[in-house]
Amino acid sequence: MKKHLLAIYFIVCIVDISLGGFEPPSIGARSNALGNASSTISDPYSLFNNQACMAFEQGISLALYTERKFLLKELSFYAGGVTLPTKSGAFGLSANYFGFDAYNEKKIGLAYSRLFTEKLSGGIQIDYLGTSIAEYGNASTFTFEAGLLIKITDQLVTAAHVFNPVRVNSGYVEEKVPTTFRLGASYQPGKKIWLAAEAKKEIDHAAQFQAGIEYRVLDALHLRTGFQTNPSLYCFGIGINLDKLSIDLSTTYHSVLGVTPQFSISYRFDNHSSH
């Protein structure tokens, strides 16, 4: 069991999904395909990626997501959430699970977002983090994350997000939960093309750059590609939009460890959608 756990630990350290990270670079196969540049995307996965974007959602939405890192069941990740817009702002509830019996991480988030003006929004989420390690027991803690989004024009959007700015302890001796800062922008030069880019910095790791492009073949069919640095990942995906139902498929490729397939499905109880 210890050898098995050490092998999994070695893999996740190589690809910077460090134990104690509690989530992959972004959640939702759409943002995965765009190089994980997710901070400016307003969709049912905003409650995972940048709570400020939730404020632009106009109807109740449900979101489910799963991925399997390098096709290893021990590195499977599952997430689900619901967003509820109200006159007082948008509320969200999410839950994540990563790992297997010998090692797993759980995260439960309660989010709130609101518009300050027609072009400015902010959001915050309180997080419960739990970790279970065979032979070491369970540990848990609480932290928070927050985001800001600014629509400079109808085509140009900027956003910022921070996770765990208070650097809480994970519950195990001297192990800190990672603190991550992200700064992103997106631009839509026309009806068919959408571009996104993002800089990400975890305090104890090198900075990352993430970028992607989405091409709308039809309203119901979107093609996507992107990349990420540190580690280098190449990303591809497709989106199928069937009225209120959206199905997204993507894969990311690591030159040493191979492919990671991702799948997400969401349902909006309102036809509104935006970036």
142 domain-assigned: yes
Structural domain range at position 54: 2-268
Average pLDDT over residues 258-268: 96
**174 lies in some domain:** yes
Angle at 161 between CA 156 and CA 167, to 5 degrees: 165
User: 58-73 pLDDT, tens per residue?
Assistant: 899 999 999 999 999 9
The answer to whether residue 273 sits within a structural domain is: no
Say yes or no to pLDDT of 265 above 60.
yes
Average pLDDT over the chain, rounded to an integer: 90
Looking up residue 235, the CATH number of its domain turns out to be 2.40.160.60
Q: Residue 275 — very low, low, confident or very high, per pLDDT cuts 50/70/90?
A: low
- Band the pLDDT of 134: cuts 50, 70, 90: confident
pLDDT band at 19 (very low <50, low <70, confident <90, very high): very low
**What is the pTM for the complete model shown?**
0.90
Structural domains in the chain (count): 1
Residue 183 in any domain: the answer is yes
pLDDT at residue 171, rounded to an integer = 73
Q: Would you say residue 275 lies in a domain?
A: no
Asked if 121 contacts 55 with a C-beta cutoff of 8 angstroms, the reply is: yes
Predicted confidence band of residue 173 (pLDDT cuts 50, 70, 90):
low
